[in-house]
Chains A and B, each alone.
Chain A
Amino acid sequence: MTLDTSVSRSGLGRVFRGQTAIDFYGKRKVGLILAIVAVVITFGSLLTQGLNLGLDFEGGDAWDIPASEIFGVDEASDVLRANDVSTTGARIQLRSSDTSDVVTVQVEVLSREQADAVTADFAEAAGVTVDEVSFSFTSSTWGAEITEKAIRALVIFLFVVAVFISLRFEWRMAVAAIAAMVNDVIVAVGVYSVFQFEVTPATVIAFLTILGYSLYDTIVVFDRVEENEGRFASTKTPYEDIVNISMNQVMVRSLLTSFSSILPVISLLLLGSGVLGAVALREFALALLVGMISGVYSSIFIATPLLAYLKAKAGKTSRRERLLGDDLRLAVMGAGVSGQIAQDSPRSDDHDDASGEHVDSEREPVAVGAPGQADRLLTHPPRPRKKKRR
């Protein structure tokens, strides 16, 4: 029976073998500060420049220009570009009936002079008189009712989700998960505000997607925390340890998943909007990208430390300092299975192969510094708690 239990020498190898020993809990302040910075930037930007609401929210100017062989959608966007009007948020459509065809151009509100200039240019490009180009104000399509109903639905959703997580896990996890989600949505909104991207109904959808993704990712992480909580229930392991162990165990999964979720979005961003030139996709994909990275980040650096903090508040005193370094690594490697801890734990792999020695020599000083801590955890391997819902 040959087992691959030795600790990998390279950092990447350790990551993919689930042998990392990163002290996530100890780095919680870094994560928190980053989150606070993002939130402060977002609110600062929202207060100073707000959001650049698009046509569908604020209305704009609209032209109806008779379409002909020499004037179509492409020519209309050329005219806009010649007048320095952004075509990103513009909506240019060909509307045809039995009797006549018109090109309808809708853009964000322009100044009077600019609008007149564009009208004249449209007339010239279409080869008609200025009177034949109809210019009018167009209202928003996104009524207040849609916003109201969406907000009401969101509030109810958050409430129901909080209840669900409280029942399935516990209320502290609900608080932590929702806090992480709020952070992600704030970060995504911040990107839109800082870079003054135009907010369209599609953007709102992007924010909702991020919201869902963030919650999903946090719950996958919390599920592992909860599982380990049951596994270590008999050993009086401090919650910070459980959090650290769980984080290290799900790290490969988080990396792989984020990579596979973000790859298509990057492809959308670079290929779709860059090479293939679908501008409509660009800002949308960027918002998704930032939101999804933030979603993965917040699950690990915001939701989980917050959970540990809430748990510590609950009065569970830790009986010792949390595990660090190789002690943590051993716990990470040992607790990742259902059922009992494997008999040949990595502690006894010295005689197995060469790399075992290397790790041992590396581990020695730590073991001296904190004698017996990992030992206690492993010589009395935690028995899996039978949980009632399992």
Chain B
Amino acid sequence: MKRRLWTSLIGVVLIVVITLGYNIATNNTPILGLDLQGGVSVILAPTESATADELTVIRDQIRSELERQGIAEPDVRVQGSTIVVDLPGVRDQQEALSAVDVSGVVELRPVLNPQSCQTGEVAPLPAGPVIGGATDASVPTDASVPTDASVPTDVTGSQPQGLRRPQAPTDTIPTDTIPTDTIPTDTIPTDTIPTDTIAPAPVNAPLPTQPAESGAVLLPTRDGSAECLGPVQGTGEVFERGSAEPTLDPAEGWGVSVGLRGGEGRDTWNNLASQCFSLAPTCPTQRLAIVLDSVVQSAPSVNEPNFTDSVSITGSFEQADADELASVLNRGAFPVEVEAQEARTVSPSAGSDSLRAAIIAGLLGLALVLVFLVAYYRWLALVIVGGITVWAGMVFSMASFVSGWTNYALSLAGVTGIIVAIGVTVDSYVVFFERIKDELRNGRTIKNAAPRSFKMTWRTIWSADVVSLIAAGILFSLSVGSVRGFALYLGLTTICDLLVCYFFTRPAVLLLARTKLMAKQETVLGMKVATA
């Protein structure tokens, strides 16, 4: 028992000293927030004129994309007709520029026959994924499970196998015998395509080819081959924002499910899907390409003419492909493309002396608290001084490591949050010592009282801290931005409180209570005790 207490005490002190030493030696300190340390600011401008609403949409999308990348608590706002992104914890401007390069417009283009592009090179038909209608958007894993009897079982074959509508002509119609009654390109009702959201055809496409048909262009695919594509008929705006997610189906493997935006989005998509499904001349291959930055991300074949809520794309995906495609579909829903114009370093907004003031005030407050506790509890309060020191070292080390991994910056609010946490940490000692005093008052010796008191104290502290941990866990996993940063530091300080309480305070007090010195004391914790 005694040896275990010593091990715990020495162990925790050693670990804290070593990690603290490591962090100081490697200059690994917590990233400070924009208000304390400043950061790098990138100004983004839309490539074409955009309305205020569109800019607001872009602002929200950039922020969520940055959060997804792990850049925490960016400050994104619309200023005039530009978007200003302030990034905390980013040291150089180049890093900032590449980090905010998250915008882009996903284009939907029908895949044409290779001859349409009139190049000698015929791109090999890649193993295309298929698009199937999902019956229930809310159950993504089931999204690609065909519930309709007309869905073919072999949807993952290397050659895209189209799904036929029951009233459609039989499957003997080859792709080149195009039914004349299908809708040609120019008769597509223009009102279903939001013209202002169509991005211009890329001018600097890596493999631009002179189009034989109007708008036909040869674009590279991700695996290096090329596809002949028709004109842009829709953008990523047809999809519900942020709804794309990778799905895993036991039968079909990895896929991507994405929700359709009600109204215009669904109309545009279904118009395109029915063209491809009926093998209209505008989409003779039945396949629809998803293009981002002039690269074909995926060219699945359309297996249904009508989609209600969501679209599922399945095929020979690896998990990484599915993740990638889902992220492309999510970020591609920018209404207009934005370009980074310049990067600037930003000075701290809270004023350079705010952090210093907070730290000085916090330390002074802490010192006052410790003086008060020593005066009140006498020399057993030295355990509190030691415990708070260990706690502070632990919080600092953990904050350094965690902000290194997660990029969560410590803002002024976070610093004050830690100052408040001092109170909660001190409370563990107060509960403990008051309990010991209760026991002493009733005639127990300190040696006897300490372990009993700790048992009861631990119950109390544990219950109360679990509530804080629940708060930290839920707020961290479900919220974004600075609320998330708060949750992180709340969780961190609470965990440190529990660890220090169990591994430092407990052995320290219990060992002290066993010493002969303690047994001889006439007053403990500032009160007279029964002496043995």
Segment 297-315 of B: residues with Cβ below 8 Å from A: none
Name the B residues within 8 Å of A164 (CB-CB).
466-467, 470
Encode contact with A along B412-443: 1 for CB under 8 Å, 0 otherwise: 11101101101110110011001001110111
Q: Does B64 contact A (CB under 8 A)?
A: yes
Contact of B442 among A161, A264, A342 (CB under 8 A): A342
Would you call B344 and A95 a contact (CB within 8 A)? yes
Interface segment out of the listed A39-47, A140-148, A323-331, A369-377: A140-148
Chain B interface helix/strand/loop/mixed: helix
How far apart are the CA atoms of A37 and B348 in the complex, in Å?
40
How far apart are the CA atoms of A266 and B368 in the complex, in Å?
11
Name the B residues within 8 Å of A262 (CB-CB).
423
Would you call B366 and A264 a contact (CB within 8 A)? yes
Would you call B345 and A95 a contact (CB within 8 A)? yes
Q: Does A188 contact B (CB under 8 A)?
A: no
Name the A residues within 8 Å of B81 (CB-CB).
136
Interface segment out of the listed B142-150, B268-276, B283-291, B471-479: B471-479
**How many residue pairs between the two chains, A and B, have CB atoms under 8 Å in the bound complex?**
308
Contact of B438 among A18, A59, A94 (CB under 8 A): A18
Segment 114-129 of B: residues with Cβ below 8 Å from A: none
Q: Does A202 contact B (CB under 8 A)?
A: yes
Name the A residues within 8 Å of B481 (CB-CB).
142, 146, 201
Segment 228-267 of A: residues with Cβ below 8 Å from B: 249, 252-253, 256-267
Q: Does B98 contact A (CB under 8 A)?
A: no
Would you call B482 and A94 a contact (CB within 8 A)? no
How far apart are the CA atoms of A290 and B441 in the complex, in Å?
35
Segment 334-390 of A: residues with Cβ below 8 Å from B: 336-339, 341-344
Encode contact with A along B440-479: 1 for CB under 8 Å, 0 otherwise: 0111100000001101100110011111101100110111
A276-B361 in contact given A59-B77, A97-B343 (Cβ < 8 Å):
yes
Q: Does B249 contact A (CB under 8 A)?
A: no
Would you call B438 and A249 a contact (CB within 8 A)? yes
Q: Does B480 contact A (CB under 8 A)?
A: yes
Would you call A97 and B483 a contact (CB within 8 A)? no
Contact of A277 among B64, B353, B417, B427 (CB under 8 A): B353
Name the A residues within 8 Å of B101 (CB-CB).
none
Instruction: Please count how many residues in chain A sit with their CB below 8 Å of the partner chain's CB atoms.
Output: 101
How far apart are the CA atoms of A268 and B416 in the complex, in Å?
8
Q: Does B362 contact A (CB under 8 A)?
A: yes
How far apart are the CA atoms of A337 and B56 in the complex, in Å?
61
- Minimal Cβ-Cβ distance residue in B for A87: B351
Chain B min CB distance to A281 (Å)? 6
Name the A residues within 8 Å of B464 (CB-CB).
215-217, 219-220, 223
Q: Does A205 contact B (CB under 8 A)?
A: yes
- Minimal Cβ-Cβ distance residue in A for B36: A280
Interface segment out of the listed A1-9, A26-34, A314-322: A1-9
Would you call A276 and B353 a contact (CB within 8 A)? yes
Would you call B442 and A341 a contact (CB within 8 A)? yes
- Minimal Cβ-Cβ distance residue in B for A74: B351
Name the B residues within 8 Å of A272 (CB-CB).
357-358, 360-362
- Minimal Cβ-Cβ distance residue in A for B432: A253
Would you call B413 and A201 a contact (CB within 8 A)? yes
Interface segment out of the listed B132-140, B369-377, B395-403: B369-377
Sample of 12 more A-B contacts, CB < 8 Å, known A264-B422, A265-B420, A338-B456: A4-B527, A93-B349, A96-B345, A201-B481, A216-B468, A220-B464, A224-B460, A272-B360, A272-B362, A285-B416, A337-B442, A342-B443
Q: Which 3 A-B pairs have the closest CB atoms?
A: A261-B423, A264-B365, A136-B80
